[in-house]
Amino acid sequence: MQYKILIVDDDLVIIEAARRILQDEYKVASAISGETAFQILDQMTPDLILLDINMPDMDGFEVLAQLKKRKDTKGIPVIFLTGVQGPETETRALEAGAEDFVSKPFTASVLKRRIMHCIQIRSYQKYLETMVSAQTEAIINREKQVGMIQEEMIKAMANIIESRDGSTGGHVKRTSKYVELLVNVLRKEGYAPMELTEYYAEMLCRAAYMHDVGKINVDDEILRKPGRFTPEEYQKMKSHAAKGGDIIRKTMSEIDDQGYVSIAADVATHHHERWDGTGYPAGLSGGQIPLGARIMALADVFDALTSVRCYKKGMTEDEAFSLMEKEAGKQFDPELIAIMMANKNVFSEQLHEFMREWENSGSRTEEEQRKEMIS
Ligand SMILES: [Fe+2]
């Protein structure tokens, strides 16, 4: 491979002298001013630039400064061609980012040796940079893969738990969708824009399906129990919230985005807190409850009320809305409830879509299912 050298000098005699010395070993291009040099640099990328310091209009220092500003030229090594300026100029040249300097008039052997030296150093640098970036990319990909595997495992766990708890199926999917709809209407209404950022919204939607992952720790008999819980059973059932947060924190410790893990853990831990402070596990109240958990609570309850469970029939959406509205300031954040109530149609439409999906997947019609849900 033949390296390319660009000579920039306003003195044609110097350009010709350098060209004669270099043309057998290198591809040589030349420019008689800084402006011409940049026109050439738009067409080609040399492996090294020989740059005169004293030029009219744009001097060598100015050319070098502009080279360092451009992404495509900042890595090209530059050797200054110096006249009689003395050590101060040479020091300034090196400080400005030149690799080396050669005094004019130059001899062939010195010029060749300096050029070869610079090009070798630059190729080693390039090689190292390529190696480092390949290694870094490999590490990032591995970390991403580990993170994705962990997330997929938690998803799988959520689905297994859902199949154990006697619900009609799809609770995880439906609540996640309701969270997404809530987030959309809240953002549309301009609710807490500093907290409910695009990032938070996206992470919350991803985190929603893990909210009940702590139920892995609760026995089947309790999960499926149709009647009332004994106090011990209720304690055990309640433990799923804190346990869920622990599981997420421990199993997702390798995930790069710990902001996401924190949102997911908050949602799992606190989705049964109540606005009035009588919920569990921490008895947090009002704004102490993380926003994601307050949103999750609405989605969770709306789905629980409108779907059929082993121990109950489903409500109509109007019944569910009216019950939830009465809980504003008690179980739920009153501001969130108000926004949800102002957008009831969004949730009704989604509920009906879920019913149609259910109908398409089985033999029951929407009407039959509705009858079952409300009878
Ligand atoms: Fe729960």
Burial of 147 (0-12, 13-18, 19+ CB in 10 A): middle
- Please determine, for residue 363, whether its predicted confidence score (pLDDT) is greater than 50: no
Q: How far is the CA of 372 from the centre of ligand 1 (A)?
A: 24
Fold of 165-374: Hypothetical protein af1432 (1.10.3210)
Strands 48-52 and 78-82: parallel
315-338: per-residue pLDDT in tens? 889 999 999 999 999 999 999 999
Q: How far is the CA of 189 from the centre of ligand 1 (A)?
A: 27
Token pair recorded at residue 361: 């997947």
Q: How far is the CA of 219 from the centre of ligand 1 (A)?
A: 14
Q: How far is the CA of 346 from the centre of ligand 1 (A)?
A: 23
- Please determine, for residue 257, whether its predicted confidence score (pLDDT) is greater than 90: no
Split at pLDDT 50, 70, 90, the class of 371 is: very low
CA distance 245 to 19: 71
Strand partners, 31: 8
78-96: per-residue pLDDT in tens? 999 887 667 788 788 888 8
The predicted structure's pLDDT at residue 374: 42
240-256: per-residue pLDDT in tens? 999 999 998 988 877 77
Q: How far is the CA of 272 from the centre of ligand 1 (A)?
A: 6
CB contact at 8 A, 267 and 292:
yes
Q: How far is the CA of 267 from the centre of ligand 1 (A)?
A: 10
Say if 4-133 and 165-374 have the same CATH topology: no
Amino acid at site 119 = I
Fold of 4-133: Rossmann fold (3.40.50)
Identify the three-state secondary structure at position 281.
coil
The predicted structure's pLDDT at residue 362: 62
Q: How far is the CA of 227 from the centre of ligand 1 (A)?
A: 18
Token pair recorded at residue 138: 């490999």
Q: Which of 18-22, 256-260, 265-269, 299-303 has the lowest mean pLDDT?
A: 256-260
Domain boundaries, the chain: 4-133, 165-374
The predicted structure's pLDDT at residue 168: 52
CA distance 212 to 199: 22
